[in-house]
Amino acid sequence: MKVFDSRKIELITVFLFLACSNIFGAEPINNNSGKRTTYSNPVITDFTYHDSSVIDGEDGYIYSFVSRIVPRVPDKKYVFNQVNIFRSRDMVSWEFYKPAFLENDVAFLNDKKKNRFIWAPNVIHYKGKYLLFVSLRYTIQDVKIAVLESDSISNDFKFNNVLVSTSSKDVNAKVDSEELIDPFPISDGKDLYLFYGSFRKDRNGRNLETKEKTAVYVVKLVCKDGVWQKQGNPIFVTDYYEGICVIKRKGKYHLFGTCGSWRNNTYQIGYASSKKITGPYKNKDGKLINDALNYNKGVPILETPNPKTRFNGFGCMTPPVIDKNGQYWVMMHGHDQTLSPIMSKIASEERYTFLIPLFWDKKSYPYFDLNLIVNENLAAPKF
């Protein structure tokens, strides 16, 4: 990957470019492939945006789909209420690629008048199509999840259908729950399923009155005559997490979720496991996280209890990308209190993007190593 234009430029211009290019992980290239061999977190610092998703394009690039982007330096090519696509050869250095869909599709998804938030995109390659799932939120009681599709990432995604909705106007999509956000699609090798929703309980297990009808659900999706729709009633999964990510490994499904407040260090990631994609999911003690009467959370594996820690408040991890060494890599939000904020008023609330290796112990339980997040000159993925 070329880092600089081949034209002659003055030394001072090169210096200023290097000083301002931390968003793309611009550390020295020290191999012949143009890929980074080391990196430091966070890997993206000149943008803030809502939850992202990553996917291996199988063309030499990893693609990241992000929403509601705010750049540190204003630039009209980044559309705020849109899904923007970035790409990278190493998950460290990222470049803007293109918007996911056209402006008239933005207006359509927005209901033209309601100004819905288009956010939390997630993408999957399924049976020859790229399916892009987005939450279209106006209020907690007025929200839906739609799917768009494309034959390739390079082409514009086109609206297909609304899958779940709080409105009875969306035929075959009406559900009883609210806050239909954070869509996560996953296939069991045959069928396609969609996880979605948010928490009703706070991190201490107390019910939140403003989110009485909120929880995480999973529903099977089917395609009839080219149109995607849900099949049957959604299955309750948990009311403790949001930002769901599910990974299948060695015959088990591991559900990762985030709880706490994204504004501070209380945001944290936990997990629970199941032999079936639809659950029920259990923690290490064998307790069900879908127990609505008792407080059974998953196993915390990434938490930062000290609010003064430079890096804290990690959450909303992406689906993993596996490098050629079999190492799992995920990206997620986190705070870096040493950086000046972009959108928030205080540095401790601003969210940046971290690249983090995910490990598995001898019993196939997942874990993170905090040292491999906060240290400098970390070993980069090998693609």
CATH number of 11-379: 2.115.10.20
pLDDT of the residue at 16? 38
pTM of the model: 0.89
What per-residue string of b and e applies to 321-350 under the rule 16 or more CB within 10 Å gives b?
bebeeeebbbbbbbbbbebebbeeeeebbb
Beta bridge pairs of residue 257: 270
**What does the pLDDT look like over 129-186, one tens digit per residue?**
999 999 999 999 999 999 999 999 999 999 999 999 999 889 899 999 999 999 999 9
Task: Give the model's pLDDT for residue 33.
Answer: 65
Closest CA to 234 of 164, 144, 137, 160: 164
- Provide the pLDDT for residue 35: 87
Residue 166 CA: distances (Å) to CA of 18, 98, 144, 145, 204: 47, 31, 6, 10, 28
Token pair listed for 192: 């396609």
Rounded-to-integer distance, Cα 40 and Cα 45, Å: 11
Low-confidence ranges of the chain (pLDDT < 70): 1-33, 112-113
The radius of gyration computed from the CA coordinates of the chain, to the nearest angstrom, equals 20
Q: What's the confidence (pLDDT) of residue 9?
A: 36
Contact 63, 86 (CB under 8 A): yes
CA distance 181 to 142: 11
By the 8 A CB rule, do 109 and 146 touch?
Answer: yes
pLDDT, position 331: 97
pLDDT of the residue at 112:
64
Tell me phi and psi for residue 24, to 5 degrees: -95, 20
Domain ranges of the chain: 11-379
The string of pLDDT tens digits covering residues 265-276 is 999 999 999 999
